[in-house]
Amino acid sequence: MSEKVNPKTEKITFNIDKEKNFSDWFTEIIKTAELADIRYNVKGFLVFQPWSVLSMESIYFFLERVLQKKGHKPYWYPAVIPEKNFYLEQEHVQGFTPEVFWVTEHGAGEKLEEKLALRPTSETAFYQMFSIWIRSYNDLPFKTYQRAQVWRYETKATRPFLRAREFHWIETHCAFETEEDARAQVQEDMETTEEVLHTILGVPFIFFKRPQWDKFAGAVNTFGADTLMPDGRVLQLPSTHLLGQNFSKPFNVKFTDSEGQEKFTFLTCYGPAVGRIFAAVCAVHGDNKGLRFPWAIAPVQIVIVPIGMNKDKNVLTKAHTLKEKLQNAFYRVEVDVSEKMPGEKFYFWEMKGVPVRLELGPKEILEGKLTVFRRDTNSKTQILEKDLLSFIEKTGKEITENLKTQADQKFKDVLVSVKTKAEIEPVIVAGKIARTPFCSTNMEGNACAELIEKEIHARVRGTRIDVPQTVSGNCVVCNKPAKETVYIAREY
């Protein structure tokens, strides 16, 4: 997204079309908007810069607020997990061992008594402690979470925010008396995803029940929220897992019920990856000018651009007075006092995705007015200065709702029904998701899924859980009677 500055208009433009060349657009916006620096000298690791950190902190805030409201308590766990913990659940260890970073020595090359894993995920840490803390049915439900980093030796090509060897997330871990209660928690996790990602951030998605061959290692069932990126690939956002008793038995997470009987708990976990969520916000809402932030998570919500401040000192004074007024109302505000020309400032902040720009010059001061630019609509209007706070309160809500509506409109037409294997690839190439009859998402269907992946380079994402299953016809691969309707897409 190389910059071109026209000396007459001072306008910064980008020469990459997001919809036609999303990969280059995403790479350049990370660099140009200073979201992250990939020049850290360890492969797969990056330095997050303030413009992304401030936004991601807001995402954390909303997720944690909702989780705490629903009874989850925050914990901070160690970054290392002893090897003996890690090997208790065999399916889990088989799934994660290839990706684990191991700590094996300390000091001047002295070997540790036991290898320590840098946590790739924290089930084996949480449930060891659950076995100590949980004693009675009165302790249940036991709902916890932590915000943390995890480390996985990702062998595929790494990509900032989308696929790295260190990523930032929240993980919840919960214990229940019955499987029914655990399933209700999985449903609540999906509602939390809707409440934050869609309502607040404006990112549309579909929750799929993953096939058995694609579930989380050690889970009974996995459910993942997929959104569609501009290049036609799906990005998994939060996933939630019904673990059943697969971890409670090896970790001895028991409770005594009301009749004095000792039983194993039923466990769940949920993982909103905040870095990926941030990437989805950038990709879904951005345009050819750059970023467009939903109001609630914009690093700066309002930028004030004083015009003619070098000729009239009242302009700069007024700008700072407005900034203080807005900050006292708890808005995030900056005044651009740089030496750039006004047009250059305008397009800089548009590229950065600031939702509202206030333009202030001697004329506005004289008339008691402000010129307002909205990034979501790329439009200008004038308001009376006395109406500023009420205007901002109303406009902030409108901006998020407008971005959400625009994203939903694009997303609603991405599902295309097909009846034969030959029809799948054109749908995938067009950047959409194929909906098709399929033999089974239990293990017997894995061979058909592998054929789709080999020939079409796309994967079975699973079955939808938000609509009733309607199945007709035969599997598009093996031609056996279809038991399910599945969705197929390329992924990150």
In contact, 239 and 232? CB cutoff 8 Å: no
- Whether omega before 272 lies within 30 degrees of 0, making that bond cis, reads no
The pLDDT tens digits for 306-332 are 998 777 788 999 999 999 999 999 999
The pLDDT score that the predictor gives to residue 451 is 96
- Sequential DSSP letters for 298-314: -S-SEEEEESSTTT-HH
Q: Cα separation of 53 and 311, whole Å?
A: 36
DSSP string, 427-474: HHHTT-EEEEEES-SSGGGHHHHHHHHHHHS-EEEEEESSS-----SB
Q: Report the pLDDT averaged over residues 239-268.
A: 97
267 pLDDT above the threshold of 70? yes
Structure-block tokens of residue 459: 């994967």
pLDDT digits (tens, 9 = 90+) for 211-242: 999 999 899 999 999 999 999 999 999 999 99
Query: How do strand 142-151 and strand 166-176 relate by DSSP bridges?
Result: antiparallel
Predicted structure pTM score: 0.93
Q: Is the dihedral of CA 196, 324, 48, 407 positive or negative?
A: positive
* Reported confidence tier of residue 9, pLDDT bands at 50, 70, 90: very low
CA distance 15 to 4: 8
Q: Who wins on pLDDT, 472 or 282?
A: 282
pLDDT of residue 109: 86
Q: How many Å apart are CA 309 and CA 301, to the nearest integer? A: 22
For the segment 185-206, the average pLDDT, to the nearest whole number, is: 98
Contact yes or no for 399/376 (Cβ under 8 A) = yes
Output the pLDDT for position 468.
82
C-alpha to C-alpha distance for 290 and 32, rounded to whole angstroms: 9
Q: What is the pLDDT of residue 386?
A: 95
Position 5 scores a pLDDT of 35
Instruction: Flag whether pLDDT at 57 surpasses 60.
Output: yes
Cα 298 from Cα 62, distance rounded (Å): 13
User: What pLDDT score does 474 carry?
Assistant: 96
Instruction: Pick one of 3.50.50.60, 3.30.930.10, 1.10.3720.10, 3.90.1300.10 as the CATH number of 22-285.
Output: 3.30.930.10
Helix (H, G, I), strand (E, B) or coil at 108: coil
**Where in the chain are the domains?**
22-285, 300-394, 415-491
SS3 186: helix
Find the helix or strand (DSSP H, E) in which 267 lies: strand 266-271
Taking residues 116-139, report their average pLDDT.
Answer: 95
pLDDT at residue 491 greater than cutoff 60: yes
The domain 415-491 is classified under which CATH number: 3.30.110.30, 3.30.2350.10, 3.40.50.410, 3.40.50.1000? 3.30.110.30
196: DSSP letter: I
Radius of gyration of the chain (CA): 25
Distance, CA of 137 to CA of 145 (rounded, Å): 20
23, pLDDT greater than 80: yes
Comparing C-alpha atoms, which of 241, 189, 181 is closest to residue 216? 241
Proportion of the chain above pLDDT 70, given as a percent: 96
What would the mean pLDDT of 393-415 be, rounded to a whole number? 95
Higher-pLDDT residue of 4, 153: 153
What pLDDT digit, counting tens, does each position of 171-182 carry? Answer: 999 999 999 999
Residues with Cβ < 8 Å from 53, sequence gap 6 or more? none
Q: What is the token pair recorded at 250?
A: 């090896």
Average pLDDT over residues 35-61: 95
Q: What's the first-to-final CA gap in the chain, in angstroms?
A: 21
Count of beta carbons in the 10 Å neighbourhood of residue 25: 24
State the average pLDDT for the chain.
Answer: 93
Domain with residues 300-394, CATH architecture: 3-Layer(aba) Sandwich (3.40)
